[in-house]
A and B are shown apart, each in its own frame.
Chain A
């Protein structure tokens, strides 16, 4: 499916909160792939490095817990999930470079031999817990794609009845277009 053929809707900030559940399941965003997670977060999305270090304490790349954000390289089609610090022993175990990381050693991200070249691509981005409200607006201002089936019930807008013809919808919050996320 050609992403650019799809329906586009623009939301004001007030309606944005209704979309937070989408971030748990994952939305598609366009990025420059072949870059490190740190590069994407700080360079492409412009998130403050201090926030990234202090707040985004749990990350998964394709279900693998990530310890080194600068070493983990994102490819086209990957799934990146971001979370703040989690409770529980296993929550602590999942934490980036935490003391208990060895307890999930066998599933941790270990890097790749071949680094993919930089090019435009799509990833699935998931935001959990506190990060939904803190990073959700930023991602929405840049725009993301969501499945029409997931989006319709959340917005409950009459116009969305028309979306039965669309599988995926481009959503953007008001407030401008970010250079890092060109949807064309």
Chain B
């Protein structure tokens, strides 16, 4: 990965490609790359859909190598949803192929001169950009079929936007094809699809023909570390058993039992029908129908937390909906039908929408009386017929929960910095509320996900039982996550590296073996701090103040059952998160 592809979409004759060396971006990957480019090259006060914003697509530092479970792709820009910096992360095949083609980043820049759509084809011979107006407003699954017919699918990975991205909706995602060439993996959060749509690039087609796996600088060190790392993932109860058997939706029963499962637009913390939509029920349904509850979203994944969800006749509906999706479209909306949730997941993917944002948006629409809680058919209709067709109502919904709440006069918009909260109620789990409030990304559960802080000891040892501990833990989690997001490793490795120091050491050794360095845990911490500091500075220049690092007021005012809890972490404590 020694080059960057820049595509300037401004030229009257159509987008122009330039390949440059890495320059000051050498050594950066994933979120480190996307955030550094955005912070360096994008004016923080620009309009997210204007010519000054850039879309940066970057594989992780280890992507394209033999490093296990390292196929994550980062997408960065100024977010049209939050107005701040954004890094959105996706699985699928693209990171591996892009890295093997030698690109550390693709940067889309400028503003198109007309309404033509373009496709970008990249192979080992170079880059070819052509008009693709016949693909205009095609949903992602239909687009994948067109690409397959023209380019094949065996060696191809596609990064694309659906109609939502082309309509520049703030909830629009960027789709990435999976191992079966389905556009089922998404950089979902923050409206990155709208930014790609604003550049009129419909699809980036990556052809890995003639490429080979990236080779480590120190093969013996890399190979030994990778072997130990995989063993660590396999032997851990979460990464080796729970996730492969049930996927992330295994969390439904547990979070519900804890009273932290937001239900009916964050009205209560438990859902009576949670067992009907649990990971256990989902896996059983898939197995009975001939689907597959154990599946990897990209080649080289040792965890296999994904799956294939099929209908009663065994026909593919969608990939196994994840916990966040099942919650957002399920419990949050009072919908307890797994088939309906799978349909909603399909329409999100097909139109190119963030499942969390759209689930919360539908919940707000239900709160507003647009449809009833539990109305699965109504929810599907809103996505397919309103958002998908770009009706005036669909335009409101497609711009997310905050916009929808405003349009319908609803106070209760569960958002931070304009982005919808994920599936954990911050009144029951206050510590995650700290991360929701203070993350540079808006409400984001993955912003503080890398649960290895006790090993990294970021900022020193923390007394986890102190009140201060919640602030410090949130800070440390955010730092560790930012670093992990730069590597291309899937965040789910975090569980094994939390419990097994030897697996954590193996992970660091993989990085060292790959790049020929001698990084320690301290260096990992510094990388995370560097990324967060850049992002924080960007947001401040974009106009964010400490008052934006807050949860909506109703979380402090409205107690949630069954614990009768409110969010009561003082503002002054929240303001300490970035003190380092």
Give the interface of A toward B (CB within 8 A): 20-21, 24-25, 55, 57-58, 60, 63-65, 81, 83-94, 99-107, 126, 128-130, 132
Whether B248 lies near A88 (C-beta < 8 A) is yes
| Neighbour of B241 across the interface among A89, A105, A130, CB < 8 A | A130
Contact A89 to B449, CB < 8 A, known contacts A60-B258, A128-B280, A129-B280: yes
Q: Which of A20, A60, A93 contacts B257 (CB 8 A)?
A: A60
Q: How far is the CA of A85 from the CA of B466 in the complex (A)?
A: 24
User: Is B563 within 8 A of A107, CB to CB?
Assistant: yes
Tell me if B536 counts as interface (CB < 8 A to partner A).
no
A55: which B residues are within 8 A, CB to CB?
Answer: 237
What residues on A are CB-neighbors of B429 within 8 Å?
90, 93, 103-104, 107
Residues in chain B near residue A24, CB distance under 8 A: 253, 275, 278, 280-281
Q: What is the CB-to-nearest-CB distance from A93 to chain B, in angstroms, rounded to a whole number?
A: 6
**How many Å lie between the Cα of A76 and that of B250 in the bound state?**
29
Which B residues lie within 8 Å of A21 (CB)?
275, 280-281, 284
Contact B430 A106 (CB under 8 A): yes
Contact of A103 among B251, B259, B305, B473 (CB under 8 A): B473
Whether A90 contacts B251 in the complex (CB less than 8 A), given A102-B469, A107-B258, A132-B280, comes out as: yes
Contact for A129 among B236, B239, B253, B258, CB less than 8 A: B253
Closest residue on chain B to residue A104 by CB atoms: B429
B330 within 8 A of A: no
B176 within 8 Å of A by Cβ?
no
- Least CB distance from A134 to B in Å reads 11
Most chain A beta carbons < 10 A, residue from B258, B281, B563: B258
B574 close to chain A: CB less than 8 A: no
Q: Is B255 an interface residue (CB 8 A)?
A: yes
Q: How far is the CB of B427 from chain A (nearest CB, A)?
A: 9
Per the bound structure, the CA–CA distance linking A90 and B449 in Å amounts to 9
Indicate if the CB atoms of A129 and B242 lie closer than 8 Å. yes
Q: List 28 A-B contacts (CB under 8 A).
A: A21-B280, A24-B275, A24-B278, A25-B275, A63-B270, A63-B562, A65-B258, A81-B254, A81-B257, A85-B242, A87-B250, A88-B449, A90-B424, A92-B495, A92-B498, A94-B255, A99-B453, A99-B454, A100-B431, A100-B451, A102-B464, A102-B469, A103-B473, A104-B430, A106-B428, A106-B563, A128-B278, A130-B242
A136 to chain B, nearest CB (A): 11
A87-B492, A130-B237 given; 16 more Cβ-contact pairs under 8 Å: A63-B258, A63-B562, A83-B257, A84-B241, A86-B254, A88-B323, A88-B449, A90-B432, A92-B498, A100-B473, A103-B430, A105-B470, A106-B565, A128-B253, A128-B280, A129-B246
Min distance, Cβ A90 to any Cβ of chain B, angstroms: 5
Is A90's CB under 8 angstroms from B260's CB?
A: yes
| Residue from B431, B453, B474 whose CB has the most chain A CB atoms within 10 Å | B431
Among A20, A84, A101, A132, the residue within 8 A (CB) of B464 is A101
The number of chain B residues touching the other chain, given as a range, is: 35 or more
User: Given the complex of chains A and B, what is the CA–CA distance between A89 and B563 in angstroms?
Assistant: 20
Tell yes or no: B524 within 8 A of A by CB: no
With the chains together, A92 CA to B280 CA distance in Å? Answer: 19
A52 CB, min distance to chain B CBs, angstroms: 14
CB-CB nearest in chain A for B566: A106
B242 near A90 with CB under 8 A, answer: no
Give residues 427-457 of B contacting A (CB, 8 Å).
Answer: 428-432, 445, 448-449, 451, 453-454
Would you give the shortest CB distance from B473 to chain A, in whole angstroms?
6
- Given known A87-B251, A90-B260, A107-B563, contact A102–B242 (CB-CB < 8 A): no
Residue B245 is within 8 A (CB to CB) of chain A in the complex: yes
Q: Determine the chain B residues whose CB is within 8 A of the CB of A92 once the complex forms.
A: 451, 495, 498
* CB of B211 to closest CB in A, whole Å: 33
For A105, give its contact among B275, B449, B465 (CB under 8 Å). Answer: B465
With A25-B275, A55-B237, A85-B242 in contact, is A94–B565 under 8 Å at CB? no
Known interface pairs A63-B258, A63-B562, A90-B260; A103-B470 also in contact (CB < 8 Å): yes
Chain B residues closer than 8 Å to A60, beta-carbon distance? 257-258
Q: How far is the CB of A95 from chain B (nearest CB, A)?
A: 10
In the bound assembly, the distance between CA atoms of A149 and B82 in angstroms comes to: 47
Question: Chain A residues with Cβ under 8 A from B237's Cβ?
Answer: 55, 57, 84-85, 130
A89 proximity list for chain B (CB < 8 A): 432, 445, 448-449, 451, 477
Are A63 and B451 touching (Cβ within 8 A)? Answer: no
State in angstroms the CA–CA spacing of A102 and B453 once bound together.
14
B279 interface residue per 8 A CB criterion: yes
Give Cα A90–Cα B474 distance, bound, in whole angstroms.
12
Does B108 count as interface, using CB distance less than 8 angstroms?
Answer: no
Q: Taking the complex as formed, is B365 at the interface, i.e. its CB lies under 8 A from any CB of chain A?
A: no
Chain B, 237-274, CB within 8 A of any chain A CB: 237-239, 241-243, 245-246, 248, 250-251, 253-255, 257-260, 270
Nearest-neighbour CB distance to chain A for B477, whole angstroms, equals: 7
Q: How far is the CB of B10 from chain A (nearest CB, A)?
A: 42
Shortest CB-to-CB span from B492 to chain A, Å, is 6
Q: Which B residue's beta carbon lies closest to that of A99?
A: B454
Asked if A99 and B242 make an inter-chain contact with CB atoms under 8 angstroms apart, the answer reads no
Whether B464 contacts A91 by the Cβ 8 Å rule is no
B248: which A residues are within 8 A, CB to CB? 87-88
Q: How far is the CB of B398 from chain A (nearest CB, A)?
A: 28
Residues on B with beta carbons closer than 8 Å to the beta carbon of A83: 253-254, 257
Q: Which of B267-326 contact A (CB under 8 A)?
A: 270, 275, 278-281, 284, 305, 323
Which of B538-580 touch A at CB < 8 Å?
562-563, 565
Closest 5 interchain pairs by CB?
Answer: A103-B431, A24-B275, A102-B464, A128-B253, A85-B237
